[in-house]
Amino acid sequence: MKHFPIFLALEGRRVVLSGGGEAALAKLRLLLKTEAHLTVFAPDPAPEIAEWATQGRLRLVRRRLQPGDAMCAALFYAANDDDAEDARVAKLARADGALTNLVDNLHGSQFITPAIVDRDPVTVAIGTEGAAPVLARQIKRELEERLSPVLGTLARIGKSFRHVAEALPMGRARRDFWADYYDTAGPRAHAAGGEASVRETLDDLLNAHLTRQAAAGHVAFVGSGPGDPDLLTMKARKALDTADVVIYDRLVTPEILELARREALMIDVGKEGFGRHTPQEEINAHIVRHVADGHQVVRLKSGDPTVFGRLDEEVEAVEAAGLSFSIVPGITAASASVATIGQSLTRRGRNANVRFLTGHDMKGFADHDWADLAKPGQVAAIYMGKRAARFIQGRLLMHGADPETPVTVIENASRPNERVLSATLSTLEPELSRANLTGPAVVLLGLAPRTAASLTRPHLEHPTLQEVL
Ligand code: SAH
């Protein structure tokens, strides 16, 4: 980080600017939002600057900057639309001890002014150290759209109410109150009746929260999708934002865990050795204990929690303890896998049903209706199927399946290290063993990758269709 972002208190401090044209105007519009004492040196100022001087909003000196003019200034801006003049005045200002900025001259500047999203008193500053001004503008645009225009007003009123809200116990109760205020109650009241209505609402809202008996704990069984954080649902993100405790599996990617609230207690029930074999009762006990303690628990499962996720066992434990839960669906590995190869799970005239199968169950390799699966046109997504591949291959061939039936294996679907193995039923083994896949993989029976060159995977750096092993 070459530039360290700070918010500088400018109230009552001296800020000096040299210049009277376009560059000066742009900077002054920003600086006039502060409470600094502004002095502008310009022999020939734009009419707006003269007008601001008349209004007493800044002091205007109608001449070029001279030594000593920037004395005691906290900040100095060289904004003359003239590189030589900027260099001259910046040198003088530095000699006077001011921190200097030269407009559009990153290297000559001691500080830079970020792109700003202004919802005073909430201010978002965006800097790219000059590397990507386009990106800064894009981020600014996105934030401008996302942050309510009345956010500043809400924050200002909220700030004056902070001490009153201290009537609520610290921690979740207070967080919930403010979340309610900023997310729903505040904007609604503002839309209905402006600032006065917001103030009234704060009182009502506080009473409601005070009388609400200590909120009970809750567990959300949340699907984290196949690994790409962009494939999380908004609901999953919200749950992660507010979680006190996150209990997660081995297949949940670090990028997704990053999104959890920073103070959340993170419990890994998927560690190697401990992990895959963390007894289910132990996981259930973790969940129940934290929910019973009144916490907001997120039980994060890869893909969709309702698909091969042992969800019911956990739900039953929560129910048996009389605690509340909800389920947030996620994108299951089968959906991500077919998306990768540009195919549909169902297709008119080919298959009117699709099966999600597990390669093995508690007793070993899982048995299925092989005779039915062996019929032409069947599509199945086989989870946990790598080790069972030879068994599945044998069973299907034995039941008369066409050896040329396409079989595609997708490893690490949606992740940067995603790989696709395109085979047929007859070649699946030994090809799969030879490929030595180490990540989670779905075996898609009856589907071959679409070979259209136009199929790209936008989340990957290289827009190649697949790495056929
Ligand atoms: N609930 C999960 C499945 C859990 S079972 C879901 O809905 O996706 C674990 C199996 O899911 C793995 O053995 C593998 O078959 C599959 N899987 C999970 N994530 C995957 C991914 N990113 N790519 C391919 N397969 C994945």
Whichever domain contains 58, its CATH number is 3.40.50.720
- Calculate mean pLDDT across residues 267-274: 70
- The pLDDT value recorded for residue 215 is 60
User: What is residue 131's predicted lDDT score, i.e. its pLDDT?
Assistant: 84
420 lines ligand 1 (CB under 6 A): no
| Structural domain includes residue 137 | no
Distance 243 CA to ligand 1 centre (A): 24
Mean pLDDT value across the chain: 90
The predicted structure's pLDDT at residue 146: 86
**How many CB atoms lie under 10 A from the CB of residue 335?**
21
Assess if residue 463 is contained within a domain: no
Q: What is the pLDDT of residue 294?
A: 81
Q: Same domain, yes or no, for 251 and 325? A: yes
pLDDT of residue 460: 41
- 303 and 350 share one domain: no
Ligand 1 close to Cβ of residue 300 (< 6 A):
no
pLDDT at position 65 over 90: yes
For residue 28, count CB atoms less than 10 angstroms from its CB and return exposed for 0-12, middle for 13-18, buried for 19 or more: buried
Q: Is the pLDDT of residue 214 over 70?
A: no
Distant-in-sequence, close-in-space partners of 91: CB < 8 Å, separation ≥ 6: none
Ligand 1 touching residue 441 (CB < 6 A)? yes
CA 250 – CA 269 distance, rounded (Å) = 7
pLDDT at site 16: 97
pLDDT of 46 > 90? The answer is yes
Given 306, 331, 356, the domain boundary residue is: 331
Which residue has its alpha carbon closest to ligand 1 atom 15?
Answer: 383
Same domain? For 177 and 243 the reply is no
The percent of residues in the chain predicted with pLDDT above 90, rounded, is: 75
When pLDDT is averaged across residues 190-194 and rounded to a whole number, the result is 92
Whether 127 maps to a domain, the answer reads: no
Domain with 235 in it = 218-331
Q: How far is CA 116 from CA 37, 136, 141, 221, in A?
A: 21, 9, 10, 38
Which ligand 1 atom sits nearest the alpha carbon of residue 418?
23
1 falls within a domain: no
Residue 305: pLDDT band by 50, 70, 90 thresholds? Answer: very high
DSSP 178: H
Report yes or no: 171 and 147 within 8 Å, Cβ to Cβ: no
Query: Whose C-alpha lies nearest to ligand 1, atom 11?
Result: 383
Q: Which two tokens stand for residue 242?
A: 């507010």
Residue 94 lies in a domain: yes
Whether residue 304 has its Cβ less than 6 Å from ligand 1: yes
Same domain, 310 and 232: yes
In this predicted structure, the answer to whether residue 10 has a pLDDT above a threshold of 70 is: yes
User: 68 and 79 share a domain?
Assistant: yes
Residue 145 has pLDDT above 90, yes or no: no
> Who's near 408: CB < 8 A, 6+ residues apart?
337, 341, 420, 421, 422, 423, 443, 444, 447, 448, 449
What percent of the chain stands above pLDDT 70? Answer: 94
Contact 435, 422 (CB under 8 A): no
Q: In a mutational test of the pocket of ligand 1, which residue from 304, 308, 392, 418 has the highest number of ligand atoms less than 8 Å from its CB?
A: 308
Catalytically annotated residue among 120, 159, 203, 271: 271
Position 459 scores a pLDDT of: 43
Q: Which residues contact 55 (CB under 8 A, 6 or more apart)?
A: none
Q: What is the pLDDT of residues 68-103, one digit of tens each?
A: 999 999 999 999 999 999 999 999 999 999 999 999
Residue 113's contacts (CB-CB under 8 Å, 6 or more residues apart) are 27, 30, 101
Whether 462 has a pLDDT exceeding 50, the answer reads no
The pLDDT of 439-450, averaged and rounded, is 96
pLDDT, position 386: 92
pLDDT value at residue 452: 61
Mean pLDDT is lowest, of 241-250, 321-330, 357-366, for 357-366
Task: Examine the residue annotation and report whether 203 is marked as an active-site residue of this protein.
Answer: no
Q: Is 332 in the pocket of ligand 1 (CB under 6 A)?
A: yes
DSSP H or E stretch at residue 126: strand 122-126
Nearest ligand 1 atom, CA 413:
23
| Final residue belonging to a domain, choices 278, 312, 331 | 331
At 168, the pLDDT band (50, 70, 90 cuts) reads confident
Whole-number pLDDT of residue 273: 45
Helices then strands, counting H and E runs in the chain, come out as: 15, 19
Is a pLDDT exceeding 70 seen at residue 453?
A: no
In a domain, 396, yes or no: yes
How many Cβ atoms sit within 10 Å of the Cβ of residue 56?
A: 7
Cα separation, 248 vs 55, whole angstroms: 61
| Position 7 in a domain | no
Do residue 58 and residue 24 come from a single domain? yes
188 and 264 belong to one structural domain? no
**230 noted as active-site residue:** no
443 Cβ inside 6 Å of ligand 1: no
Q: How far is the CA of 418 from the centre of ligand 1 (A)?
A: 13
Based on the fold, state whether residues 322 and 338 are members of the same structural domain: no
Q: What is the pLDDT confidence band of residue 464, given thresholds at 50, 70 and 90?
A: very low
The residue with greater pLDDT, 275 or 410, is 410
Task: Report the pLDDT value the prediction gives residue 240, as an integer from 0 to 100.
Answer: 95
Report the range of poorest mean pLDDT among 199-213, 290-304, 322-336, 450-464.
Answer: 450-464
Q: Quick one: 315 and 229 in the same domain? A: yes
Residue 457: phi, psi to the nearest 5? Answer: -110, 95
Quote the pLDDT of residue 456: 59
The reported pLDDT for the residue numbered 171 is: 75
Q: Is the pLDDT of residue 126 over 80?
A: yes
Torsional sign, CA 356, 362, 364, 370 = negative
**362 and 406 within one domain:** yes
Number of domains present in the structure of the chain: 4
Nearest CA to ligand 1 atom 2: 303
Ligand 1 neighbour 388 (Cβ under 6 A):
no
Q: Are residues 343 and 300 in the same domain?
A: no
405 lines ligand 1 (CB under 6 A): no
Position 467 confidence tier, pLDDT thresholds 50, 70, 90: very low
Residue 305 lies in a domain: yes
User: Which ligand 1 atom minimizes the distance to the CA of 383?
Assistant: 15
Q: Which of 182, 210, 238 is the last residue of a domain?
A: 210
Which residues, including other chains, have CB under 8 Å from residue 139's CB and lie 6 or more apart?
Answer: 115, 126
**What does the block give as tokens for 288?**
């129940």
* pLDDT for the residue numbered 275: 42
CA angle 465, 466, 469 (to 5 degrees): 155
Q: Looking at the structure, tell me whether residues 356 and 313 fall in a common domain.
A: no
